[in-house]
Structure 1
Amino acid sequence: MDRETLLEQLKHIIKPYAQDQEAFNSLTEETDFINDLKINSANLVDVILDIEEKFDVMIDNESMKDMVTVKQAIGIIETELLKDK
């Protein structure tokens, strides 16, 4: 799965939780979930659970802590998808 496809699928997951729609509309890989999109920590857990369900992966606690930006989320998803191959 290429990065562009991952980014589009990630946008669908993030959209319901993003509190700053302007930041969401200009989302890039550098977008920060908490500082830019104003997603609180409880909702960030929901985002991670949705990612796990959508991509059929398990994200460990260490990776969860590192998932601060869209780019980091994509990297973690890519790593987890490669483990399944």
Structure 2
Amino acid sequence: MKKEELIIQLKEIVKPYIQDQQAFDNLNEKTDFINDLKINSANLVDIVLDVEDAFDIEIDNESMEQMLSVEKAMEIIESKMK
């Protein structure tokens, strides 16, 4: 899967949880879910569950704790899909 496609899918997944529309409009690999998009930790769990469903993968607790940015989420998704 291409990075652009992965970012588009991630954007759709996080959209219901964002608190900062401008940061969402400028979402890129360096975007931080908590600091930039103002997503709270409870919603991060929802995002992880949505990612698992969307990509048919299982994300362990260690990976979930690291999934705080778009870039890290992409790395985790790509490694789990292999």
Q: TM-score, normalised by structure 1?
A: 0.95
**Where does structure 1 differ by over 4 angstroms across 4 or more consecutive aligned residues?**
none
The alignment's C-alpha RMSD in Å is: 0.5
Q: Determine if the alignment matches structure 1 residue 79 to structure 2 residue 65.
A: no
Q: How do residues 5-84 of structure 1 correspond to structure 2 at under 5 angstroms? A: 5-82=5-82
SS at match of 1:47: helix
Which stretches in structure 1 are left out of the alignment for 5+ residues? none
Which stretches in structure 2 are left out of the alignment for 5+ residues? none
Q: How many residue pairs were aligned? A: 82
In the alignment, the residues of structure 2 paired with residue 22 and residue 2 of structure 1 have an alpha-carbon distance, to the nearest angstrom, of 25
Letter in 1 for 2:33: F
